Amino acid sequence: MCIAFPGKILSIDEGRFAVIEISGTRREVCLDLIDEDVQPGDFVICHAGFAMHKVDEGLAQEKLAFLKEIIEHEAY
């Protein structure tokens, strides 16, 4: 099963790569597959090192809370 995660863009390097943060973890993702204009502060859905889709902050926070709940539930 594959899961994509919402991350907040912290910085963009020359338009091709961005540093994102997902629940306190920073990762670099490639922006080559996203067809929308993104800027630092935007949220994107990421999978396998690629930003796939821009999402609004409310939806991103909702999905992060749900993923956190799943992880915490699985720990028991």
Q: What angle do CA 38, 40, 44 make, to 5 degrees?
A: 55
Q: Which domains does the chain have, with CATH numbers?
A: 5-74 (2.30.30.140)
Q: What is the tens place of the pLDDT at every residue in 5-30?
A: 999 999 999 879 999 999 899 999 99
**Percent of the chain beyond pLDDT 90?**
68
Quick check: 8 and 18 in contact, CB under 8 A?
no
Separation between Cα atoms, residue 19 and residue 27, nearest integer Å: 6
Residue 1 has pLDDT above 70, yes or no: no
Alpha-helical regions (H) of 22-56: none
Average of per-residue pLDDT values in the chain = 91
Residue 38 has pLDDT above 80, yes or no: yes
pTM as predicted: 0.85
Element (H, E) at 7: strand 5-13
